[in-house]
Every structure is written in structure tokens, then in C-alpha cells.
């Protein structure tokens, strides 16, 4: 609360957030809504109906030109060749040591044009890194953050709500296409960060206000970053800065599936060594549930080694949940962990992903 | 969560606690501002009956979805009752912070300490 707010950036929806009664907090250099009515209400709205998030703080980089695919493949961990035109893919940006600089979503807008979505706090570094690697290839890397506002509409009724305002069929999951929604031309992507069905919408910043208003009018409930965090934790999605950072490799983080070392991306050799050494990784990221009372938080140590990297109260499970790096020997589902929560030992059980499923 | 409200019949501590003084006993809780800042409370682990509380020192914690928060004793004394209903239904702290959301009842060891607490108007002036 005491953090200076003078240098914070505001999204094009700042006025809409104030009008909706948002509590705004500093986040990754932006003044963002953490909640409107309450984290639990907003969380459950996304699980049962439809919520709308302003995620305009997230960054965009466009890689385009004759050798765009080659340049992007040099930069990111996943097999970019497998993205069809109009397709989407989760990926990682790694350094030579095979450690994670950021996690990304890639959209293939055309044969030689890719849109990369970055995390707000990493965006300037990502853009600079991407511009300064693979420069010998015939492709441009441009920072397009100022060109886009980004909204996420998520929940079991999200797709239907957006579809009713759209001029054509929405793309399926992990696909994207251009559409007009509520009269606003935009890119619709079948992606999200909640574990629910839904879409993400990228539009001109000047159009964000009317688009937001139309979606709220149609029944989408504004949801802040607080519930975004509890939702993603139930779904076991990583948050960069918590569960991913330059101290951790993708294999330890459980993201080996997003790494195609044979493509030779920056960091592939180091990641390949971790994957092929039976003694590695020493630590693995696991989801856990606290069976009794108590909530573990980021930084709480695990007795015997390891640390909680994300922890919160799960409004769906009504228990403490989280993600922790633990020794490989403790990473098996069903293992009991003892977490030191401010001096009180709380017992937690290692689970499989995701922690929340629709049919529970 | 209704609108901000700070009843006139309570005494207030700067750490966002209230005390309802009744002779040499008092009931403690946290203010509307405290519960609003915390957001939805999901756990309250009460102290044990008989525990000795010291003014200005933390004696229990309440935990919301967002964060855990220490609760400071506005006055010194011995716990003579705890709100077990709140442990079962922590949301009461948000719904009714001055009523069903009370935390503990205390036999005061130094009723003179009451003079150091603020009235409603003085407390509200610290919030702006």
C-alpha cells in the first residue's frame, strides 16, 4: 500500500476499473485491479459462469519476415514448426544455462508472422533479448505492447457470451483468428489462465473501453488479479517470478513437455543434460493441498528441504493449496510434506495436476 | 461487507482493533477497515481460554484469501471466552465485524489502559 504509485502505468481500462469499484494495486509496474467485490466471489463466478479480466499489462512482441519461424525457433523452447497458421502454443524463453527468462504464449498469425505474449514484469527484457538474438536471420522483432489492449473472458459461459456478440464462429482452444466482437475488430484466441474454457481478446487500446462495457453489459463479471492467482493455482499454471525464474530449469518446473531440445533453441543443450541425467533434477515443482487448517504462502520452507513458491486459499476446494519445489524423492503424489507456516508445521499432501477439476 | 462504520460505543487501537468495555471486562475484535483490507477471511485460530494478552502485542491471527494478518491486543488481560462460531464460519468477521465477528472476551488486568485508546472520531481520522 505504501508503494509509490507515481510511475505506475495504467491500462486503457483504468477508468472502467474505478467505476466498477476496483481496489487498485501496483503489479509489475502497472496499477492493476486486485479485486472488485471480493476474491472468492470473483473466483467462483469464473468457475460457474463467466468473468472478464483486464490483462492489458501483458506484453506483445511480433516476429515477422521471411525467416520469422527460424528466428523464433532459435529463441523459444517449443517446436514452433508444429504451430499451424491460426494456432497457439505455450513456450519458454530460456538463457544459455537453460534457465527460464519468461513463459510465453505464441500465436501464428500467418506463415511468416508470429505474435508472442510476454509477462508484464519481463516484457522490456524479453523484447530486448529477442531483438539481440538471431539478428543474422531475415526477420524483424518488434515490441508491439503499445498497440494492444488485452482482455480475457473465462468461465463455462464465456465462449457463449462472446459468441453472441461476434460476427463469426470463435476459434477452438489453442487457435486464434480475427473477428469483430461488439463492433470492435480484434484477435480472438482460445486461451486463458484459469483452467476454464474461454477466450482472450486483443484489440486496439482505444477500443478497449467499449469492448469491456459491451462484455460486462452482456453478463461478464469483472475479475481482478487476486482471483486470477487463485484460479491459476487451482489449475497448476506457473506464475513467473514465483514458480519459474532464472534459478530454475524447465525440467525441474515440470515443463519438459514445452521443450523440444532437438530444435537447438538457446538453452537446449543445458536442458538436454538435465533431462538425460537420472540424478537430475534435484528439485521438482509439485502441487500440494493442506488437509487441515492453514494456508502456506510463497517462501514458507518445507521441513527437510524445499520451499513453497505459490500458496493461497482455494475457494473451490476450501483448503490451502500451492506449488512447491521439493526433493525428487518427495515429489511423488501422495507424499506428505511438512510445511513451516510462520512457525506452525502444517501437513500437506503432494497431488497430481490440476488441483481442481470440473467433475470434483 | 456493508459501508464503512465505526460505532461510537467502542474504543479503538491504532492497529485496527476495537474493544467494547464492560466494567473490568472487554470484548475485542477488528475494525471494518481491517476486515476490508484483508478481504474474505477464511481462517481464525483463536487463542486458548486463560491465555494472558499484553496490550500492543499480537495474540492471534486471521487469514484471508490474500494474506495472513496478526491481531494486536488493544488492552492487557486474560482470555475468558473465544468466539468458536467464528472458527467455524470465518466470514462472520467480514459480515459483522462488531457483532458476530468478535474475537475474544477478556478480563482486563489494567483497566487504566483504556485511557490510551481512541474514540471513534479519533480513529477514523487516522484512516485518511
For A91-130, the pLDDT digits (tens) are 999 999 999 999 999 999 999 999 999 999 999 999 999 9
State the average pLDDT for chain B: 95
In contact, A297 and A229? CB cutoff 8 Å: no
What per-residue confidence (pLDDT) applies to A358?
79
A292 and chain B: CB distance < 8 Å anywhere?
no
Q: Is A224 on the interface with B (CB under 8 A)?
A: no
Inter-chain touch B40–A297, beta carbons under 8 Å: no
Q: Is the pLDDT score of A317 beyond 90?
A: yes
User: Among A39, A295, A315, whose Cβ lies nearest the Cβ of B68?
Assistant: A295
Q: What is the pLDDT of residue A2?
A: 43
Rounded-to-integer distance, Cα A114 and Cα A86, Å: 10
By the 8 A CB rule, do B47 and B70 touch? Answer: no
A312: closest chain B residue by CA: B65
Q: Does A86 touch chain B (CB under 8 A)?
A: no
Q: Residue A290: which of A241, A339, A347 has the closest Cα?
A: A347
pLDDT for B45 equals 86
Rounded mean pLDDT, A8-12: 97
* pLDDT surpasses 80 at A6: no
> Which of B1, B45, B65 lies nearest to residue A312, judging by beta carbons?
B65
| Average pLDDT across chain A, whole number | 96
Tell me the pLDDT tens digit for each residue of B9-27. 999 999 999 999 999 999 9
Least confident of A257-261, B58-62, B65-69: B65-69
Mean pLDDT, residues B30-51 taken together: 94
Contact A313 B63 (CB under 8 A): yes
Q: Which residue of A has its CA nearest to B88?
A: A293
Give per-residue pLDDT as tens, A264-289. Answer: 999 999 999 999 999 999 999 999 99
* pLDDT number for residue A7: 87
Q: What is the pLDDT of residue A230?
A: 98
Mean pLDDT of A182-203: 98
Distance from CA of B39 to the nearest CA of A (A): 7
> Residue B128: pLDDT band by 50, 70, 90 thresholds?
confident
Distance CA B40, CA B38 (A): 7
Query: Does residue A354 have a cis peptide bond before it, meaning omega lies within 30 degrees of 0?
Result: yes
Comparing CB atoms, the residue among A39, A293, A342 nearest residue B39 is A39
In chain A, % of residues over pLDDT 70:
98
B4 touches chain A (CB under 8 A): no
Q: Is the separation of the CB atoms in B19 and B71 below 8 Å?
A: no
Nearest CA in chain B to A313: B65
A39 at B interface, C-beta within 8 A = yes
| B65/A230 CB distance under 8 A | yes
pLDDT the model gives residue B66: 87
Band of the pLDDT at B3, cuts 50, 70, 90? confident
- A182: cell is 461488439
Q: What is the largest CA-CA distance in chain A?
A: 58
Q: Does B63 touch chain A (CB under 8 A)?
A: yes
Closest Cα in chain A to B39: A38
pLDDT tens digits for range A139-166: 999 999 999 999 999 999 999 999 999 9
Residues 6+ apart with CB under 8 A from A147: A60, A204, A205
Cβ neighbors of A355 (< 8 A, separation 6 or more) are: A233, A234, A235, A236, A287, A289, A314, A317, A321
pLDDT digits (tens, 9 = 90+) for A37-71: 999 999 999 999 999 999 999 999 999 999 999 99
The reported pLDDT for the residue numbered A86 is 98
Give how far Cα A237 sits from Cα of A90, A258, A322, A353, Å: 11, 13, 11, 9
Q: Residue B84: pLDDT above 60?
A: yes
B99 CA: distance to closest CA in chain A (Å): 21
Q: Assign A345 a pLDDT band (cuts: 50, 70, 90).
A: very high
Q: How far is B62 from chain A (nearest CA, A)?
A: 10
With a CB cutoff of 8 Å and minimum separation 6, the contacts of A261 are A268, A269, A271, A272, A275
Confidence of residue B1 (pLDDT cuts 50, 70, 90): low
Cβ contacts (< 8 Å) between A228 and chain B: which residues?
none
Sheet holding B11-13, edge to edge: B11-13, B17-22, B25-30, B104-108, B77-82, B52-53
Amino acid at each position: 500500500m505504501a508503494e509509490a504509485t507515481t510511475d505506475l502505468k495504467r491500462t486503457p481500462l483504468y477508468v472502467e476499473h474505478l467505476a466498477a469499484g476496483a481496489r487498485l494495486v501496483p503489479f509489475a509496474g502497472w496499477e492493476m485491479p486486485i479485486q472488485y467485490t471480493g476474491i472468492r466471489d470473483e473466483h467462483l463466478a469464473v468457475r460457474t459462469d463467466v468473468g472478464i479480466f483486464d490483462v492489458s499489462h501483458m506484453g506483445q512482441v511480433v516476429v515477422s519476415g521471411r525467416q520469422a519461424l527460424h528466428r523464433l525457433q532459435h529463441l523459444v523452447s517449443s517446436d514452433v514448426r508444429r504451430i499451424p497458421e491460426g494456432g497457439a502454443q505455450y513456450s519458454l524463453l530460456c538463457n544459455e544455462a537453460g534457465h527460464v527468462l519468461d513463459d510465453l504464449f505464441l500465436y501464428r498469425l500467418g506463415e511468416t508472422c508470429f505474435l508472442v505474449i510476454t509477462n508484464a514484469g519481463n516484457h522490456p527484457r524479453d523484447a530486448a533479448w529477442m531483438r539481440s538474438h538471431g539478428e543474422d536471420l531475415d526477420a524483424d522483432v518488434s515490441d508491439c505492447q503499445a498497440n494492444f489492449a488485452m482482455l480475457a473472458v473465462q468461465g463455462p459461459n464465456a465462449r457463449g457470451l462472446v459468441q453472441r456478440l461476434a460476427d463469426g464462429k470463435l476459434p477452438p482452444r489453442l487457435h486464434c483468428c480475427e473477428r469483430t466482437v461488439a463492433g470492435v475488430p480484434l484477435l480472438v484466441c482460445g486461451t486463458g489462465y484459469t483452467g476454464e474454457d474461454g477466450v482472450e481478446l486483443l484489440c486496439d487500446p482505444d477500443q478497449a473501453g467499449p469492448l469491456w462495457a459491451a462484455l460486462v453489459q452482456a453478463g461478464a463479471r469483472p475479475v481482478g488479479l487476486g482471483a486470477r492467482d487463485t484460479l491459476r493455482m487451482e489449475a497448476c499454471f506457473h506464475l513467473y517470478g514465483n514458480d519459474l525464474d532464472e534459478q530454475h530449469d524447465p525440467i525441474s518446473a515440470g515443463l519438459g513437455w514445452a521443450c523440444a531440445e532437438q530444435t537447438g533453441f538457446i538453452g537446449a543443450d543445458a536442458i538436454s543434460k538435465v533431462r538425460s541425467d537420472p540424478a537430475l533434477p534435484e528439485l521438482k515443482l509439485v502441487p500440494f493441498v493442506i488437509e487441515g487448517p492453514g494456508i502456506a504462502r510463497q517462501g514458507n520452507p518445507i521441513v527437510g528441504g524445499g520451499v513453497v513458491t505459490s500458496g493461497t486459499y482455494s475457494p473451490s476446494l476450501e483448503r490451502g493449496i500451492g506449488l512447491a519445489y521439493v526433493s525428487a524423492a518427495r515429489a511423488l503424489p501422495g507424499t506428505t510434506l511438512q510445511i513451516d507456516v510462520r512457525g506452525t508445521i502444517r501437513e500437506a499432501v503432494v497431488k497430481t495436476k490440476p488441483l481442481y477439476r470440473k467433475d470434483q | 461487507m456493508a459501508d464503512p462504520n465505526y460505532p461510537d460505543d467502542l474504543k479503538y487501537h491504532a492497529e485496527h482493533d476495537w474493544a467494547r468495555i464492560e466494567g473490568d471486562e472487554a470484548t475485542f475484535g477488528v475494525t471494518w477497515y481491517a476486515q476490508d483490507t484483508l478481504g474474505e477471511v477464511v481462517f481464525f485460530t483463536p487463542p486458548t481460554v486463560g491465555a494472558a494478552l499484553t496490550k500492543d502485542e499480537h495474540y492471534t491471527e486471521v487469514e484471508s484469501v490474500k494474506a495472513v494478518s496478526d491481531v494486536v491486543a488493544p488492552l492487557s488481560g486474560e482470555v475468558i471466552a473465544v468466539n468458536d462460531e467464528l472458527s467455524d464460519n470465518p466470514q462472520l468477521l467480514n459480515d459483522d465485524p462488531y457483532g458476530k465477528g468478535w474475537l475474544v472476551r477478556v478480563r482486563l488486568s489494567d483497566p487504566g489502559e483504556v485511557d490510551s485508546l481512541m474514540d471513534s472520531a479519533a480513529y477514523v481520522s487516522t484512516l485518511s
